[in-house]
Chains A and B, each alone.
Chain A
Amino acid sequence: MTADEKQEAQFKKLLSPKDPEGNDLKFQSKEAEANYKASINRIKDAVQLKKTPDRVPVALLPSMFPFFNAGMTIQEAMYDNDKTVAAFRKFILEYEPDMHIGAAHAGPGKFYEILDYKLYKWPGHGVAPEHCYQCVEGEYMKAEEYDLLITDPSFYFRNFYLPRVFGALDGFQMLPPFTGILEIYGLAFFFVPYALPPVQNTYKALFEAGAEALKWAMAIGGLNGELTTLGFPNILGGFTKGPFDVIGDTLRGTRGIMLDMFRQPDKLLKAMEALVPIMIGMGIGAMQQTGNPQIFIPLHKGADGFLSDEQFKKFYWPTLKAVMVGLIEGGCIPFPALEGHWGSRLKVIQDIPKGKTMWMVDQTDMAKVKETLGKNACLIGNVSSSMLRLATPDEVKAYCKKLIDTAGKGGGFIMGNGAFFDEAKPENVKAMVDFTKEYGLYK
């Protein structure tokens, strides 16, 4: 199958959703079924850029807003799956966006505690109950470890990286290389370390944590199914990242990767190349699991000001593009998010296959995005978090009108917020959705 045919097949599957047993999904009403299918067709048209949808679709992509909206703290949501589910259900039914991205944002707090996760602080665990979790920047991968990562990514992660970021996975350091298993000769020695107490404790923690994750995933997944039967599709099929951000965010850290561009550029480039197939596999694997082709790719270190133009072209873009092309060839729809400002990158990033991607735009000038990237790709955004928090409903409507008139022109646009938002005025969120449904009709 060609990439086109694969994408088409994914949409076809989305249009005839199944229940967990594999039978045709039973919607709760005719209206719900019609809404669901209309939304899928709108995304399809918006992404493919072949024809204009019947109206501009509107998506809500919140971070912790649903929990504030339900009057609870983030800590409560992280430690109680039922509360998470109830809050998110309430959020969707109250604001009625065409589509959503699921309730996975808070994550299972107890799970992280069991693993002794050191890469983040979260509500009740280093952060106040009503604040979002925070990444603890650091050099979790050392400057001299590039060769280890390049030579054997899975082994590097298991024996070096994971024990550093998870206190409970300390025992992984004691395990021998997988590739030692070749013949029967000496093979028994390979298994000896699995009898060591630190190794067994690591697996015990993983079993306990895994059980927590499973409960949480069932709760979130159950809610997704329920919302689908009510006519609200989840458009998030999975998650992957650009290789520069994989290394720059949580392996080498911002400072580390910035230095590496000068001190060991070749190693950095090789490591990013080594991560390309893994990041592609991550997206395609997620699509196969969830049945949703949209693979979210948050973009961080490539924003204006982080890198020079030359650095962006040399270090950031080539492997990110390779990941996206690989995803497209596998039938996915890459869904990158231009977090922050990306005005200086538009000419470079517009060079992507047409009708195969959707880009979430945060604070970049939408008219300029439409003229460049928008010629080849669907855009989603860019009502800003500050507007949702501080503006009036009329100001929100005026901004949405401007977006529909410019970015929405000729299709290829999904109304949405620009960044994952925590706090917002409910009436502003409501105004954005309702106004778009009314004003966004293509005639």
Chain B
Amino acid sequence: MTEMPCQASVLQNSGWEGRKMKERWTEVEAGAKEKQAKQFAEKQAKQFATWLSGESIPFEDSNAAEAYQERINLLKDAIQLIKPPYRVPVCPSPGFFPISYAGSTLYAAMYEFDTLVRIWEKYCNDFAPDAYNAPTSIVPGKVFDLLDFTLYKWPGHGVSKEWPYQFVEGEYMKAEEYQDLIDDPSGYFLRVYFPRIFGALKAFERMPIFPLIHEMVLVPLGLFPFGTPELQKALHDIMDAASEATSWGKKVRALNGSIMGKGFPTYSGGFSKAPFDVVGDSLRGTAGVMTDMYRHPDDLLEACERLTPFMVKAGVAAGKANNHSLIFIPLHKGADGFMSDKQFRTFYWPTLKKVIVGLVNEGLVPLLFAEGGYNSRLEVISDLPKGAAVWWFDQTDMVRAKETVGKVACIAGNVSPPLLCVGTEDEVKAYCKRLIDTVGRDGGFILSTGAGMEGAKPENVRAMIDFSKEYGVYR
């Protein structure tokens, strides 16, 4: 289950407190000395052991506990590239498919927690993927109603009840604000960014700058905004949203306990992003970040560097809190066609690589989801330690991927949503067979979809999973 770690003690246990964050990602570079490579391997093995232990999972019986370990071992062997697993692990990305499969709507799943539970249980019971995605992407609608979240539109809130939520592109950070972000990232988020993306948090503009509260005479001047009704209202709104999020969290936790208790691990234990995407997705927006590569290249590069330790920290803290190895990293603006090869090497890859190596150094396994095509990036992204990451592809040439980045990393993918939506069962099986025969050769492969399975024919989903489990056995 992906959950934000919130206790300071979690941060401390994660190795965050007092650790040399800035140096951490330089401690072990790709292709580093043997001793260092061994260090990361030891940490990775330890983290896998933690995941495998299944501690605190309410298993239904000993068979379930055993199945849980077997499934994790499939992933572990596929990732480490030391020996092929027993068979190809099958881990599709469900997207919103479980909702239509259960005959419900995204609106119902977002607003009625029992419906969400029923939808997810049904999907996992009926299809039995080797690892399932916790319903982290099916967010509780009321939380966002209460906060007046403006970064998205969602069913019943700007989008019709049947449709997925939609991101609202914009320049939520202005071009001239790079330095503010760089000087004090959390201060910038708190007092500038949040008031823009949460209507209910407009008054956060008046939130004190915490580092100014360091001497007696400054304290009343710093904290008096907490006496104003505007800031109090905003914080009461957060607390209302929190109580809603807590009820949702309890349901989701119980749901995850139930699914894992039947022997199914989750596919990821945390979330992080490429620093360029942090800037390009929801701060500067696509148009903003693209023009910044020309107009403000130094600011952009510095911001990416500045955000790097945050992205490492987010993944490490979540992985350790959730006793999981895999950290999901969806990749957006670096895909083929978004930028030139030179721009990818200059702006996108260096800090993404630092995030990857930072996670690897802490024993975690980045699950890099390359949305769209990555054909022109395969050589560049091959510069990684062996057996340390998963590259999950969408529309990339899988055979070439195997020949390049597949030499150092496990490959996942790439049954396409169109095939699942309009193909036949035989076509799906044929595609899976080809994947297993080529990319799956000698291990190092997870059979997955190229994207979420919205609109897929249930029989195609079943064919993909059942066929691959049967045909994918290594002999």
B-binding residues in A (CB < 8 A):
104-105, 107-108, 111-112, 115, 117, 119-120, 133, 135, 142, 144-145, 147-148, 150-162, 173-195, 200, 203, 206-207, 209-217, 239, 241, 246, 249-251, 274-275, 277-278, 281-282, 285
Contact = CB atoms under 8 A, between A and B. Distances in A.
Chain A facing B: main interface SS: helix
Given A160-B8, A195-B246, 18 more contacts: A104-B217, A107-B219, A133-B216, A180-B314, A181-B197, A184-B144, A184-B149, A187-B139, A189-B3, A192-B246, A195-B243, A211-B227, A215-B227, A250-B214, A277-B184, A281-B183, A282-B209, A282-B212
Interface string B231-248: 110010011011101101
A112 B216 CA distance: 9
Contact of A182 (B18, B187, B278): B278
A181 B21 contact: no
A195 B242 CA distance: 5
Given A144-B18, A209-B226, A178 B220 contact: no
A154 B209 contact: yes
The 6 closest A-B pairs by CB, nearest first: A210-B227, A210-B226, A194-B242, A154-B187, A214-B227, A157-B210
Given A158-B210, A203-B235, A210-B225, A188 B143 contact: yes
Which of the listed residues B7, B186, B225, B282 has the most CB atoms from chain A within 10 Å of its own CB? Answer: B186
A115 B273 CA distance: 37
A198 to B, nearest CB: 10
A365 B398 CA distance: 79
A216 B197 CA distance: 33
A188 B140 contact: yes
A188 B249 contact: yes
Contacts of A200: 239
B448 interface: no
B225 to A, nearest CB: 7
Contact of A210 (B3, B7, B223): B223
Contacts, number: 236
Interface string B262-279: 000000000101000010
Contacts of A217: 220-221, 224
Interface residues of B, number: 80
B151 A184 contact: yes
Given A147-B22, A285-B209, A183 B243 contact: no
Contact of B223 (A148, A178, A181, A213): A213
Contacts of A155: 185-186
A151 to B, nearest CB: 6
A175 B210 CA distance: 14
Contacts of B273: 182-183
A356 B124 CA distance: 70
11 contacts: A154-B210, A154-B211, A158-B186, A161-B214, A176-B4, A186-B2, A189-B245, A192-B245, A193-B242, A195-B245, A278-B183
B309 interface: yes
B20 interface: yes
B394 interface: no
Interface string B5-26: 1111001000001111110000
B4 A186 contact: yes
A244 to B, nearest CB: 13
Contact of B190 (A151, A162, A178): A178
A133 B221 CA distance: 17
Contacts of A112: 216, 219
Contacts of B143: 187-188, 191
A145 B12 CA distance: 12
Contacts of B227: 207, 209-215
Nearest to A215: B227
Given A181-B189, A188-B140, A147 B19 contact: yes
A249 B214 CA distance: 9
Contact of A179 (B3, B147, B314): B314
B56 interface: no
A280 to B, nearest CB: 9
B217 A107 contact: yes
B339 to A, nearest CB: 20
A107 B6 contact: no
Contacts of B226: 203, 206-207, 209-210, 213
A185 B282 CA distance: 12
B139 A184 contact: yes
B39 to A, nearest CB: 20
B376 interface: no
B213 A162 contact: yes
